[in-house]
Every structure is written in C-alpha cells, then in structure tokens.
C-alpha cells in the first residue's frame, strides 16, 4: 500500500452508486486527480464534509492499480459561499480550472490563484465582476495565453497614445489601426489597460489590490470575456453569470 499526503480543493463531485463519490481534486503535490471516496454520501460518513465542492483539505490518499482512493481527510477550510453571486462565480471558477488543467500535471499556481480568489470573495471587498476579470486574465496567463498590451497587434508599434484603443482576442490595437479589426472588439481606456498590465506583471498575492469604478469594471469584464475566447471552450456555469450581478 502506498499512501500519499496531498493538499487540494474539490473542483467536482461525481455520484457513484448509492453512496459513493468520485471527486476531482486540484492538489499542490499531484496536480489534478480523480479520487474515489467510498460511502462519502452517507450522512454519518467521515468523508461527507471533506468531499464537498469548494472544500480545501489535506487528503491522505491510497494509490493502487492506477487509481486514487481517500483514506483520511483533514479539512483546512470549507469555503461556505452564501449569496447567489458568490456561488455562481465560484462554480464558474472551478469549472474553468477543471477544463484548462490536465490530469496529474503540476498546477500549484492555479491552486494558489483559486484559493486566493475564494478568500477575496468571502472578504466582500471587491465587485464580483472585477474579481472574475482578474481571475480570467491571470488563469489565462498561467495557461500560456497572454494578451499583447504594450504594442499594437497590427503595426507592432509601441502604444503611446491611449485614446481610441481597441481590445480584441489577441490584445490591443492602436487608434490608427483599429479600423482594420474584423473580429469582435471593444473600446478600452488607459485605466483598463493599466489594470490588465498590473495583473500580468504581479504575483497572485497582489493582483486583487486595486478597485475600479462601475464603468471600468464593465469594460474590464468584457475585455476578459473576449480574451477568454482564446481557449475555445464552453462552460456550463457561464449561463448563470448572465443572471447574477
């Protein structure tokens, strides 16, 4: 028997049989893994609380014949989101992480981003849409996608004039070239471009240390949604975001 200790957060619950579960964990030590939890749905199960969505815990895992099974759980934190917005966006964040993360690939940075984001949500100090935009841009960067924000995506010249800029799936376009864009794009300003730059240039622990006004949050959020199209993925939870906030 080979037991493994791994700290991780529950991204997904899959019901099996009458009382079992398979949970998808994003862990520091093993990356994303699927783990069996026997009897986890029983009301008196020792695994009941530690196998629920948004739970962060240290898991003692048995690995045999190519599969993981939970032996023990020591809960570090249950992220108990209460409002509709908190639940919708947090569900969206874990689905995004699940879709962009490969099994058994080290994902420590993504895990840290998710935990940091969840803690910021519970502090209730930033608009949820600003949090979402920050999360999107940082996760995209971690996943290998980074928008071009210093030079025009068409003429390649350095951006010096921040008037009449447009943002599209590849990044920024200067005022002289923005009429050349055939794809979907939005007009952005210096404040939003600075916010994107700040996120890309700073560590995860610092990316939530600014606050935008309502107008710039909308532009910022729309830009993050547009840039996310690089992934060419659809998210089931995305439809709930349109009914929140």
31-73 tens-digit pLDDT: 999 999 999 999 899 999 999 999 999 999 998 888 999 999 9
Contact by Cβ (8 Å): 75, 49? yes
Phi–psi pair at 154, nearest 5 degrees? -100, -60
CATH tag, 84-147+162-241: 1.20.1440
Homologous superfamily assigned to 2-78: Nucleic acid-binding proteins (2.40.50.140)
In percent, how much of the chain has pLDDT > 90?
81
The pTM (predicted TM-score) of the whole model is 0.93
Domain segments of the chain as ranges = 2-78, 84-147+162-241
Q: If pLDDT is split at 50, 70 and 90, which confidence band does 1 have?
A: low
- What one-character-per-residue DSSP string does 136-183 give? HHHHHHHTT---B-SB-TTT--B----SSEEEETTEEE-TTTGGG--S
pLDDT value at residue 20: 93
- How many beta carbons lie within 10 A of that of residue 18, not counting itself? 8
Q: In what order do the strands lie in the sheet with 185-188?
A: 171-173, 165-168, 185-188
Distance CA 225, CA 238 (A): 11
pLDDT tens digit sequence for 61-109: 998 888 999 999 999 999 999 999 999 999 999 999 999 998 878 889 9
Q: Is the pLDDT of residue 237 over 60?
A: yes
Distance CA 110, CA 136 (A): 11
Distance CA 170, CA 220 (A): 15
pLDDT value at residue 243: 62
């Amino acid at each position: 028997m080979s037991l493994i200790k791994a700290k991780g957060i529950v991204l997904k619950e899959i019901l099996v049989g009458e009382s079992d579960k398979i949970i998808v964990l994003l862990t520091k030590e093993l990356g994303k893994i699927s783990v069996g939890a026997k009897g986890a749905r029983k009301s008196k199960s020792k695994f009941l609380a530690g196998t629920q969505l948004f739970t962060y815990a240290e898991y003692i895992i048995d690995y045999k014949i190519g599969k993981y099974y939970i032996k023990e759980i020591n809960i570090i934190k249950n992220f108990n989101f209460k409002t509709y917005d908190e639940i919708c966006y947090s569900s969206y964040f874990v689905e995004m992480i699940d879709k962009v993360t490969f099994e058994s690939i080290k994902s420590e940075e993504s895990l840290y981003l998710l935990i940091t984001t969840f803690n910021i949500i519970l502090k209730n100090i930033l608009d949820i849409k600003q949090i979402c935009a920050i999360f999107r841009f940082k996760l995209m960067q971690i996943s290998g996608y980074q928008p071009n924000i210093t030079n025009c995506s068409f003429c390649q010249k350095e951006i010096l004039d921040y008037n009449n800029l447009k943002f599209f799936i590849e990044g920024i376009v200067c005022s002289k070239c923005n009429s050349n864009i055939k794809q979907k794009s939005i007009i952005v300003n210096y404040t939003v471009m600075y916010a994107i730059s700040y996120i890309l240039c700073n560590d995860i622990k610092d990316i939530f240390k600014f606050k935008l006004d309502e107008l710039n949050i909308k532009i910022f959020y729309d830009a993050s949604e547009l840039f996310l199209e690089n992934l060419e993925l659809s998210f089931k939870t995305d439809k709930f975001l349109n009914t929140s906030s």
